[in-house]
Amino acid sequence: MSAILDALKRQEEERRRGQAATESAAERLLAQQPKPQRTGLGTGLATALGALIIGGLTFALLTAKESATPQSAARVTAPDLPTPADSAMPSFDVTVTTADVAAMASAGTPARAPKPLATIVDGWRVSAHIYGELREDRALWINGQPYGEGDEIDGLTLEAITAEGYGVRREQERLSRRVTPP
């Protein structure tokens, strides 16, 4: 039995010596291969490309910022609508400046135009209109809900309830409507 163990030990030693010889031969072959040399051309191209990208982004941001600032604030005014002389309805003036539009655009929100007042008001179903001399006696039922002067409806302020109708406001924009009896 000892002869078998000795033979196995010798075989193991030979295997280890062969493996070490193989590893050292592979290391020698790798050491003999020429290493690829880096040229300055690849590094230079990468640097130039990076500089172009950064410069282009900077230019785009600067031109976008300059075009967003208003050059002059032109004033746009809508004409007054004719009203009967005997009407107790207040007249409303609509004024929007380009500075207002630029301020909305630079606020970080998309420059999407708000719905026109007429579109919002035309969607309302006015079921009752009550006018009284005192402000507390005035009411307007819109879509089944009672509202008084100063209340907010769909982002609009109910500014006035008159004997003939009502007026609404959104910031500087105003609209008046007559209420006809059913």
Question: Model confidence over 51-97: pLDDT tens digits?
Answer: 788 877 777 777 766 555 555 444 555 555 555 555 555 555 555 56
Q: Please compute the mean of the pLDDT values over residues 114-120 and round it to a whole number.
A: 89
| Mean pLDDT rounded to a whole number for the chain | 76
Do 147 and 157 touch, CB atoms closer than 8 A?
no
Return all residues near 156 (Cβ < 8 A) that are at least 6 apart.
117, 120, 121, 168, 169, 170
Q: Is the pLDDT of residue 20 over 70?
A: no
pLDDT for res 32 = 67
Q: How confident is the model at residue 163 (pLDDT cuts 50, 70, 90)?
A: very high
Q: Please determine, for residue 151, whether its predicted confidence score (pLDDT) is greater than 90.
A: yes
> Average pLDDT of 157-171?
93
Are the C-beta atoms of residues 141 and 128 closer than 8 Å to each other? yes
- Model-wide pTM > 0.95: no
